Structure 1
């Protein structure tokens, strides 16, 4: 069987796991089961994209053991083939808000430590406009610029929805003055998308998937976006932060907790904007239980940002559904 034939079978497969940027299909091959990873052509890019995932995997493999092994890369048509990792997705037995097994916590911090030890010359190249290592303020401004662009892109179409949800005309004004106060830390390779659906646990070990959002940047951002997406119980978050500061070289973890809080505040604001758009597009095809899940989850995300904007955290799922009425195509909250 050729790689192109494998790709054809993946395209025709009924069962697939899809994120925002890729479709994943597990298939048998002459050399064992593999994961065929196909980019989604219509994906809205709402995250900073720096490197091609296959370049990241090839470069980090000598330093990070529990990442997918790259078997094949095709430019035309675009797809990758990874070895298939058997196991349980962390989210399937430890969903957001639930405690995480201690061995997973250790594996996460170990991964972050392994990443900061990759020399810059061994990472993929960065473009000339990218902030220099140590320019944490420049890195923060770069993240915020993408969030501003996303907001500007959808501001007119979602004007009424944003207003109903409490998203202000300048949603980043509350964090913008703080970027210049960030502590200078040397940059490192960041996964930048470490959450429960990107971790597979097998035989007591955690494997880390989906490296398409990997960045060269401030390690404090890695732990901040991880906390935002993992939604740990508070005591576990504190334990992970302590382990992180104890294990990593001090120069990568230097600075006050205010730096961590700033990155997390930015992610809350970004999530309120981005997920309002993303969830609205999922509503029409969603069955009632999924609709209720989406509206409940979006209410929680927007409420977290509303607190930063000086608003009450009183947004209900029903109010979210009303705000997204133009995208509901005829269904009501009770139907």
Structure 2
């Protein structure tokens, strides 16, 4: 049965594709399921720690609105989850728009639930992983991946980076800040909580795509969430208020500067990573899709330019010029 589902999914043209996985909903006698197949050609642009199925097994007793794992195959590589029938949040509330009020509560509820998972119930950690509460080590680990991505692509993208105002050493401006991060207990983090990973069904929010889950600083969870959600100011303030009120004090300790540091890192990372990602999508995009990608990249790089102390004056014309070699053919 499972292999047949995989073969149907692999042949299906009806897939919801993220960056690392394709998702295909298929009927079975026991109900609809989601077949999740890794995209083999995806470049690693994020810190990857655990296998997603191990994360789902770990969190299931603690977090209620997450996919139920039905099957895992190593060869060929795929998972089967129960199908969550609802609306993807991004489909009716895109970045920058207000979300339904219950989503704010649901997000903080999930973050609080994840703090309850004991270390011994989480999957194993590699030897190089920062020790308990080592915020500076955790921050540098995130930054190391961003630096590796930049160094991998700077040869091919040097002129594009120059035209976009991405510095030769994009992390120099924030690198000294890692040493001052507050020590907070580490917890399980989703580390990718954004609108395309949330499904709203019957007034409740379900949280998908746990392949980037980490063991780390809970301040990073809310920082990357704010970066990727792009809430209106009042909703961001409400999430932060609830987060500080509902989580135990040791998980939210420290100055707002810690939150800003994590968010600044994500802005820089997004400028570098999405320049590469979007350039690879442009050749197969329609003119309307190219315009959409260009406008998104304008916003992302202007956000990073503020961190670098540069005027946020990047225009769609400059982005299109920088990425022209990819969509016009090299």
| TM-score bin, normalised by smaller chain | over 0.9
| Residue matched to 1:187 | 186
Q: Verify: 1:29 aligned to 2:28, yes or no.
A: yes
How many residues are matched? 330
Which runs of 5 or more residues in structure 1 are unaligned? none
Which residues in structure 2 correspond to 1:11-160 (within 5 Å)? Answer: 11-160=10-159
TM-score normalised to structure 1 length: 0.98
TM-score normalised to structure 2 length: 0.99
Which runs of 5 or more residues in structure 2 are unaligned? none
Q: Verify: 1:325 aligned to 2:327, yes or no.
A: no
SS of the residue aligned with 2:71?
Answer: strand
| Residue matched to 2:234 | 235
Aligned-pair distance for 1:318?
1.4
SS of the residue aligned with 1:71?
Answer: strand
Aligned-pair distance for 1:3?
0.4
Aligned-pair distance for 1:330?
5.8
| Residue matched to 1:245 | 244
Give 4+ residue runs of structure 1 displaced > 2 Å after superposition: none
Q: How well do the aligned residues superpose, as a CA RMSD in angstroms?
A: 0.9
Aligned-pair distance for 1:263?
0.1
Superimposed CA distance per residue, residues 16-37 of structure 1 (whole angstroms, 9 cap, x where no aligned partner): 0001000000000121100000
Aligned-pair distance for 1:235?
1.2
Aligned-pair distance for 1:257?
0.2
Alpha-carbon distance in 2 for matches of 1:48, 1:317:
30
Superimposed CA distance per residue, residues 38-90 of structure 1 (whole angstroms, 9 cap, x where no aligned partner): 00000000000000000000111000010000000000000000000000000
Alpha-carbon distance in 2 for matches of 1:318, 1:23:
32
Aligned-pair distance for 1:309?
1.2
Larger displacement relative to structure 2 (71-80 or 287-296):
287-296
| Residue matched to 1:305 | 304
| Residue matched to 1:206 | 205
| Residue matched to 1:9 | 8
| Residue matched to 2:261 | 262
Alpha-carbon distance in 2 for matches of 1:260, 1:47:
19
Aligned-pair distance for 1:142?
0.3
